């Protein structure tokens, strides 16, 4: 009887840990009180982001990992992946690439705390819509990492929480101005979303 009880407790612990981990990985959308189409700015690792793109919205989705980060060739590549437009949604990615000091693992992302990246002076921005990629011409604006913190579970570092805001202005494919505005993000980044690569 004691053996059965112990097995039950062990299974319960494993299931609850699995649920906790999956809860930490899912996207949580909490509407902004001023614009309910966008997520509120948070610093809790909700794996969410949103921005206005012209008169539509670019938003995180539970179908895609919303953020992936790659450090390669002395540059950090910070990418947002989500849905854009009305139903049926288009898939969209926005990728910021900028020179930065070496980041070997997700814990090193703490180096981004309170960093503001001037897009015009030292950042390349790419836009991918339904697998069609283009580098944004004449891009300007800011990518601001307002707060970076480590989240620990049972006193063990589990992920880095990256929270911040962004604005991007650029010349569209018709050479007239377009923009992403009111951008905000809040991600929990682990070794599954961060990758260090050396050529």
CATH number of residue 140's parent domain:
2.40.128
Selection from 77, 59, 60 nearest residue 68 by Cα: 77
pLDDT band at residue 21 using 50, 70 and 90 as cut-offs = low
The pLDDT assigned to 20 comes to 56
Range of the domain at 122: 29-197
Residue 79 within any structural domain of the chain: yes
Residue 10 within any structural domain of the chain: no
Residue 19 within any structural domain of the chain: no
pTM for the predicted model, two decimal places: 0.88
Under DSSP, the state recorded for 42 is -
Q: Each residue of 50-79: pLDDT tens digit?
A: 999 999 999 999 999 999 999 999 999 999
Backbone angles phi, psi at 30, to 5 degrees: -110, 115
CA 173 vs CA 49, 92, 128, 168: distances in Å = 25, 16, 13, 15
Distance CA(87)–CA(65), nearest Å, equals: 20
Tokens of 170: 């650029």
Tokens of 15: 């299931």
Reply yes or no on whether the pLDDT at 5 is more than 70: no
Distance CA(146)–CA(29), nearest Å, equals: 19
């Amino acid at each position: 009887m004691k053996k059965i009880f112990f097995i039950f407790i062990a299974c319960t612990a494993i299931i609850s840990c699995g649920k906790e981990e999956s809860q930490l990985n899912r996207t949580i959308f909490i509407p902004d009180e001023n614009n309910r189409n966008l997520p509120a700015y948070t610093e809790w690792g909700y794996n969410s982001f949103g921005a206005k793109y012209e008169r539509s919205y670019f938003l995180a989705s539970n179908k895609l990992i919303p953020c992936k980060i790659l450090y390669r060739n002395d540059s950090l590549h910070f990418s947002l992946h989500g849905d854009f437009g009305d139903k049926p949604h288009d898939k969209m990615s926005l990728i910021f690439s900028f020179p930065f000091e070496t980041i070997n693992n997700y814990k090193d992302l703490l180096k981004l705390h309170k960093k503001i990246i001037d897009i015009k002076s030292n950042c390349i921005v790419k836009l991918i819509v339904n697998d069609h990629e283009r580098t944004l011409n004449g891009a300007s604006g800011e990518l601001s990492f307002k707060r970076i913190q480590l989240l620990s579970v049972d006193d063990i570092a589990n992920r880095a929480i990256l929270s911040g805001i962004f604005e991007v202005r650029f010349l569209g494919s018709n050479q007239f101005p377009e923009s992403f505005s009111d951008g905000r993000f809040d991600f929990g980044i682990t070794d599954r979303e961060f990758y260090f690569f050396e050529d």
